[in-house]
Amino acid sequence: MKIPFSPPYIDETVINEVVDSLRSGWITSGPKVKALELEIKTFSGANEVLCVNSWTSGAIMMLRWLGVTTEDEVIVPAYTYSATALAVLHAGAKPVMVDSGADFNISVEAIRKAITPRTKAIIPVDIAGFPCDYDRIMALVTEPEIQRSFQATSTIQEKLGRILVMNDAAHSLGAYYSKNQRTGCETDVAIFSLHAVKNVTTAEGGAICLNLPEPFDNEELYNELRMTSLNCQTKDAFSKSKAGGWRYDITGFGMKINMADVNAAIGLAQIREYPKLLQERKRVFNTYSEAFSQCEWAVTPPSVQGERETSYHIYALRIKGFTEEQRDRMIDEIAKSEVAVNVHFIPMPMLSFFKSMGYDIQNYPQAYENFKCEISLPIYPQLDREKLNFIIETVKAAYIVASGYN
């Protein structure tokens, strides 16, 4: 039985929405992008939502808006995908990596130790879709002593008066941070990924959620950033295409990172069905947890802790006591049955580029501990009970082989 890791969910409603975009004669940024922004805004509870062409470009734009420079620091977890730190570098600042907790997410105590007067932002990451402890993080950046030590180097930073918290919510669209409150509105900025493998996709894309405190006006900021995402052009292509609407101006140093309607159409159809799709992902997740909780060697991932609940994006199974070599052997055994699995993530200090910059995995022991024994299992609505049983039995059999590997 051949089981892919993460195929996109494409049904007739998605196809029809995309065809509608194609037949409309308008395929770049236009009404479907705006409709998707409104859907995500309603779903997440964010003040404003701006759709762009990727999580990465959205993060770069927000850090540039914040006004970071080469002397500034942005705290990120060592245990995340490389885009989190690469966005900081592209924006011109220095990523300061810190260790994780046993729940995969960034350690709040490690954040505290890493803060300096040059810290301008913190980018926590909701690994696998499970929200970070944002009550503690937001309380941390507003502590009087930390706020007094903050040294603003731009007008935006002066206006905020403290470290910005920008949630890397690439995995967590649909997660609950607290009862009746989904992720997307719990930090100053949150950015969802709408990449092909995410719970809701636009093939490529991202959604920036704006929740800046007063005196910021989030609606005004949305309009400013929307223009910035279109090269700071005063009219988008949709407006320019109208009779007599050709004249425009360039008002600043922008980026070209807008989302196209033909992409938004995919996400628009999916998010309208997302409550149903989310329940299906939860079904798969809980089936795994029920099966593997009976195995003394398995460490099942967090799903619900207090009021926090995952988006069921990744099932990050850990194998108790396994070395990296044993984990790799287990993955090889699983692959023999044509079940595709993955690893989330190789910690950034283990990657050649970051090693060349001086980052050392020995400084992040929990990140390595999480990585060395982690196997991500397939999780998507199309997995029926027969396929799930096959995956579970395949994993169990692979463990028996790998546990004797030296």
Give the residue numbers marked as catalytic. 198
Helix, strand and coil percent figures for the chain, each rounded to 5: 45, 15, 40
Asked if 281 and 380 count as a contact pair (C-beta separation under 8 A), the reply is yes
Q: Are 266 and 14 in contact (CB under 8 A)?
A: yes
In angstroms, the CA 89 to CA 33 distance is 28
What lies within 8 Å, CB to CB, of 104 at 6+ separation is: 79, 127, 128, 130, 301, 302, 316, 370
Which of 85, 224, 216, 207 lies closest to 162 in space, CA to CA?
216
**Which one, of 213, 244, 271, lies nearest residue 33 by Cα?**
271
| Distance of alpha carbon 125 from alpha carbon 79, whole angstroms | 9
Give the Cα separation of 119 and 166 in Å (integer): 13
- Containing 44, the helix (H) or strand (E) segment is helix 31-44
Other beta carbons within 10 Å of 304: 10
